[in-house]
Structure 1
Amino acid sequence: MADRSFLDWPFFETRHRELSAALEEWCAGHLPVDHGDVDAACRGLVAALGAAGFLRHSGAAEGERLDVRSLCLIRETLARHDALADFAFAMQGLGMGAVSLFGTPDQREWLEKTRAGRAISAFALTEPDSGSDVANTATTAERVDGGWRLTGEKTYISNGGIADLYVIFARTGEAPGARGLSAFLMPADSPGLSVAERIEVIAPHPLARLKLDGVFLPDSALIGRAGEGFKLAMSVLDVFRPTVGAAALGMARRALDEALARVKSRRIQGQPLAGLQMVQGHVADMALKIDAAALLVYRAAWAKDMGAPRITREAAMAKLYATEAAQQVIDAALQLHGGDGVRKGCPVESLYRDIRALRIYEGASDVQRVVIARSVLE
């Protein structure tokens, strides 16, 4: 059983502890799921999380604010049990984050569907030549009679191919670079939108490359105001970057649990592995990294929930440290398992593949270093 004493930290309220306990009970009865058919598994997870009421935390109801501590607690818990379940929950939040923060009443009707698990959402920002460099976005949205016509390509889009709707970013040209982008709500059945390629990666994850060939979207599809897409995207990432750190934290906790079970039961030279000082050193380092990551993650979440308008620096620190630390913790856990650690089906082998993408998506680790450095230098 993972250590849950952190729930007594002053970052949390009674409702957070109750949410954690309820989700823990749900996970014990529903996770992990079969990953054989990733698309079907994700659809099933979204429906199940919606039916259980947990997806209501993925977006804010009218007049409410997102509770980032709840988002982090849910992602940490799901990731500890099943990384694909964490992904299914996270994309409902990230995919509709722009609508949750800036959407119109009509657009929020979609949000109510995603919060109930009746629709699957996606966040379409990355392009073949524009990942970390959002200012290089090439997809265009040309104003036409009654709306906009979008042309371009998006890639590495999570939930691509299974989503019911996409929040898509395109260049509308109000200013050069990042200041000339806008965000749109695009249903998956929009004429001219096609899935050009399904992308397979090292861990179960529905990804796709999308092609937009003159997709028409009405004026009502514009989220916020034209030309404010970059600001909108960064506001969404401010909220969700700490939750990436929380997911990494959940994976690291699972790795430590697996490692502890291994070193207590595996014997060498007449004693458990846990009796060796070198092994104890690894365990100490793992525990230290986990607690430090948790403090950074929940510091960032708490600051946002307390009303901080931006937590760019705190979010970057949380994501950078937690994901890098989790990679190290999982690697150490695999090493302590010896040959069994690389055997397919071993939990730490799955974690080793699951964790790697978290150091890349929603801002790669080196991008977070730049964000932090600029903040410090200012």
Structure 2
Amino acid sequence: MTRHVHLTDEQQDLLDSTQVLARDILAPIAEQGTPGTVNRPLLRALAEHGPLRTVFGDEGVSAMQLCLLREALAVHCTEAETALAVQGLGSFPILTAAAPHLREQWIPRVAAGEAVAGFALTEPSAGSDVANLELKATKDGDGYRLTGTKIYISNAPDADIYSVFARTGDPGFRGITAFAVPRDLPGLTGRALQLVSPHPIGTLDFQDVHVPADHVLGEPGGGWDVAMKTLNLFRPSVGAFAIGMAQAALDAAIEHTRTRQAFGKPLAGFQGVSHPLADIATQLHAARLLVHNAATAYDTGADTIAQLSAMAKLLATETAQRAVDLAIQVHGAKALEQGHLLEHLYREVRAPRIYEGASEIQREIIARALYKN
């Protein structure tokens, strides 16, 4: 395993031990799951062996810890990485903004992998432009009635609890309220969606779903702040997920080109093969440092976090796409066989350039910061 000189011994140990865990324990459990469905044994293993306990520890998880966990898991088990990330994303609004009785009801179960969480923000007409979401929450006596549809919600429709964002007021950011919505409330249904890379993801349909007033997360009209607090913590680590996949692809390409013979010598002996890999290694190293810089900015309260997180996600996810593509190119047709590591990564690597802010949105955030002053 590579030693990163900018990491502390504790951070390096977390990275290394989590890679071993992903390879030896979690990957076999992931392989036994059904693609496209929630793998509850995998979540329980993430709790039993530490990663979920780190996310929900008494001291709170840092952005850097999230980055190290997600990178390490992604190198050997993307399914475990996604399960950890979505569990954290879906429950963080409850952890930070719910009434005490809701936190006590749900967070211990989520942290133990006994309950599954989902983050319900995206809608059919509100993807990147989430401030214009339309799911309606109408005040009704001692609660609210929710009506509308969410789409591309990870762990839907099988999660046990959702952090849901709905409109309670005027158009725009300040008309949004966050709710903790258990799956078993009457009127809440959903269906699974099949994507290029099978994940537990689907739609949620709200038909006059009554949610008690004490299930509001934060203040009425404060849902945008709840969502952004969650996304700001998790966004740098999307880049870490991409870095883990890129590292796995690069490692596979190096091993293959070192041993594969063509025209009387290893592929590594051809500059047309080795130099593009050198470029990817350089870009990957730069992306990792930028991701860690963004995480440090979040953890220290720097006012540049939005710009740095956008830069980190943009560079890391775009670099990972190139890394996987190049690794396939140097492997040839065998990398496209179903079940090959690179065939798996080729399907997995595409989504991070879209979710939690597409690359185009990240460029817009960066550009606005350049001209802010």
User: Is 1:181–2:207 an aligned residue pair?
Assistant: no
TM-score, normalisation: structure 2: 0.95
Structure 2 residue ranges without an equivalent (≥5)? none
Structure 2: which amino acid aligns with 1:331? Answer: D
Paired with 1:59 and 1:154, the residues of 2 have a C-alpha distance of: 26
Once the two structures are TM-superposed, the CA of residue 300 in structure 1 deviates from its matched residue by 0.7
Paired with 1:306 and 1:335, the residues of 2 have a C-alpha distance of: 41
Aligned equivalent of 1:165, options 144, 161, 164: 161
Aligned equivalent of 2:233, options 231, 239, 242: 239
After superposing the two structures, state which structure 1 stretch, 321-330 or 226-235, moved more.
226-235
Aligned equivalent of 1:137, options 133, 138, 147: 133
Cα deviations by residue, 1:14-66 (Å, 9 ceiling, x for unpaired):
332232233233223214221661366621211110111210222353xx343
User: Is 1:336–2:336 an aligned residue pair?
Assistant: no
RMSD between aligned residues = 1.5
User: Is 1:375–2:369 an aligned residue pair?
Assistant: yes
Aligned equivalent of 1:281, options 275, 297, 300: 275
Instruction: Map 1:12-91; keep pairs closer than 5 Å.
Output: 12-32=7-27, 33-34=30-31, 37-38=34-35, 42-59=39-56, 61=58, 64-91=59-86
Paired with 2:95 and 2:315, the residues of 1 have a C-alpha distance of: 27
Once the two structures are TM-superposed, the CA of residue 326 in structure 1 deviates from its matched residue by 0.3
8 Å Cα contact 2:154-2:202 kept in structure 1: yes
Paired with 1:141 and 1:332, the residues of 2 have a C-alpha distance of: 47
After superposing the two structures, state which structure 1 stretch, 339-348 or 149-158, moved more.
339-348
Aligned equivalent of 2:353, options 359, 363, 366: 359
Once the two structures are TM-superposed, the CA of residue 230 in structure 1 deviates from its matched residue by 1.3
Relative to 1, partners in 2 of residues 1:237 and 1:40: Cα closer, same or farther, differing over 3 Å?
closer
Cα deviations by residue, 1:109-134 (Å, 9 ceiling, x for unpaired):
21222112111100000011011011
Structure 1: which amino acid aligns with 2:268? Answer: A
For 2:221, the equivalent position in structure 1 comes to: 227
Once the two structures are TM-superposed, the CA of residue 309 in structure 1 deviates from its matched residue by 6.1
User: Is 1:251–2:245 an aligned residue pair?
Assistant: yes
How many pairs align? 369
Cα deviations by residue, 1:241-296 (Å, 9 ceiling, x for unpaired):
11110000000000001001110111111000000011111111110111011011
8 Å Cα contact 1:68-1:304 kept in structure 2: yes
Paired with 1:183 and 1:321, the residues of 2 have a C-alpha distance of: 31
Relative to 1, partners in 2 of residues 1:188 and 1:41: Cα closer, same or farther, differing over 3 Å?
closer
8 Å Cα contact 2:235-2:356 kept in structure 1: yes
For 1:101, the equivalent position in structure 2 comes to: 96
Paired with 1:15 and 1:143, the residues of 2 have a C-alpha distance of: 49
Detail structure 1 runs of 4+ shifted over 4 Å in the superposition.
Answer: none
Relative to 1, partners in 2 of residues 1:60 and 1:219: Cα closer, same or farther, differing over 3 Å?
farther
Aligned equivalent of 1:317, options 311, 319, 330: 311
8 Å Cα contact 1:138-1:171 kept in structure 2: yes
Paired with 1:338 and 1:125, the residues of 2 have a C-alpha distance of: 40
Relative to 1, partners in 2 of residues 1:343 and 1:278: Cα closer, same or farther, differing over 3 Å?
same
Relative to 1, partners in 2 of residues 1:103 and 1:143: Cα closer, same or farther, differing over 3 Å?
same
8 Å Cα contact 1:123-1:158 kept in structure 2: yes
User: Is 1:148–2:144 an aligned residue pair?
Assistant: yes
Paired with 1:309 and 1:190, the residues of 2 have a C-alpha distance of: 40
Once the two structures are TM-superposed, the CA of residue 148 in structure 1 deviates from its matched residue by 1.0
> Percent identity of the aligned residues?
43
1:38 is paired with a residue of what secondary structure? coil
